[in-house]
Amino acid sequence: MALPLLLGQLLAFMGHGGAFYLEVRELEEKCFIQEIPDGTVVIGNYKTELYDPAMEKYQPSPQWINLFVFVKDPENKNLLARQYGPQGSFTFTSQSPGEHQICLHLESIRFALFYDGKLAIHLDMQLGEHTNDYAEFAAKDKLTQLHLRVQQLVEQVELIQKEQEYQRWREERFRQTSESTNQRVLWWSILQTFILVATGVWQMQHLKSFFKAKKLV
């Protein structure tokens, strides 16, 4: 019982995506940043709604509403650029650790949207082990409850290792940034000191020449 409890406590501190609610207009793009370790499977389950002023509430979007999803990794490379229907899911796998930009916008395949074009997106992001359907695994592979639990624990340990590697990578990047900043501050201080000394020497030479000229007069 100690191992599952420990894993549960560790996983409680880890990010596994989140739920988002976005209100948009047609063609208005909404973007957000998600920090993701490398080699992590990400699934976004979504549904869209269209505002009905007669009912004064949002209704499920018709089939002629499309969702466009764009995902870029920390190196600004495209991981995903696809068009989807009004409800469904999208999937991608991170190739490098760091901040991934996820952008969404809705578009009508008709000439213009009715109802003033007010739309809403409900999005649930799932990362890593949370993307697995263990009930399907158990039915497909005829796994016992014990085997299924062991598989879950193995995958959770792998997820913890990925998260630890990602945290180490973040710490190393922060250390490099701090060292670079400190080095720049040091060189700037040295340059300021050199400028002050040079200015002082020039002023002394100028005053010395001025007083010599006064004596000659």
Residue that terminates a domain, selected from 103, 127, 151:
127
Indicate if 69 and 156 belong to the same structural domain: no
Indicate if 47 and 95 belong to the same structural domain: yes
Position 125 confidence tier, pLDDT thresholds 50, 70, 90: confident
Residue that terminates a domain, selected from 127, 153, 184:
127
Q: Is residue 182 part of a domain?
A: yes
Query: Looking at the predicted structure, is the pLDDT value of residue 80 above 90?
Result: yes
Q: How far apart are CA 189 and CA 95, in angstroms?
A: 40
Q: Is residue 100 part of a domain?
A: yes
Indicate if 186 and 164 belong to the same structural domain: yes
Query: Looking at the predicted structure, is the pLDDT value of residue 151 above 90?
Result: no
* 18 and 109 Cβ atoms separated by less than 8 Å: no
Q: Which span out of 8-22, 44-58, 67-81, 132-146 was modeled with the highest average pLDDT?
A: 67-81
Rounded mean pLDDT of 52-56?
A: 82
Q: Is residue 14 part of a domain?
A: no
Query: Looking at the predicted structure, is the pLDDT value of residue 103 above 50?
Result: yes
Indicate if 40 and 113 belong to the same structural domain: yes
Indicate if 115 and 164 belong to the same structural domain: no
Rounded mean pLDDT of 174-200?
A: 88
Query: Looking at the predicted structure, is the pLDDT value of residue 35 above 70?
Result: yes
Residue that terminates a domain, selected from 106, 127, 148:
127
In Å, the largest CA–CA distance within the chain is 110
Indicate if 120 and 139 belong to the same structural domain: no
- What residue numbers bound the domain in which 81 lies? 20-127
Q: How many domains does the chain have?
A: 2
Provide the pLDDT for residue 16: 53
Indicate if 52 and 150 belong to the same structural domain: no
Query: What are the φ and ψ backbone dihedral angles of 17, each rounded to 5 degrees?
Result: 95, -140
Q: Is residue 12 part of a domain?
A: no
* 117 and 25 Cβ atoms separated by less than 8 Å: yes
Indicate if 147 and 89 belong to the same structural domain: no
Query: What are the φ and ψ backbone dihedral angles of 157, each rounded to 5 degrees?
Result: -65, -40
Give the predicted TM-score (pTM) of the model: 0.59
Count of Cβ atoms closer than 10 Å to residue 88 Cβ: 12
Residue count of the chain: 217
Tell me which of 211 and 217 has the higher pLDDT.
211
Position 139 confidence tier, pLDDT thresholds 50, 70, 90: low
Q: How far apart are CA 119 and CA 107, in angstroms?
A: 10
Q: How far apart are CA 95 and CA 100, in angstroms?
A: 10
pLDDT tens digits for range 58-71: 888 888 888 999 99
Provide the pLDDT for residue 209: 78
Provide the pLDDT for residue 129: 55
Provide the pLDDT for residue 102: 92
Provide the pLDDT for residue 72: 93
Indicate if 115 and 200 belong to the same structural domain: no
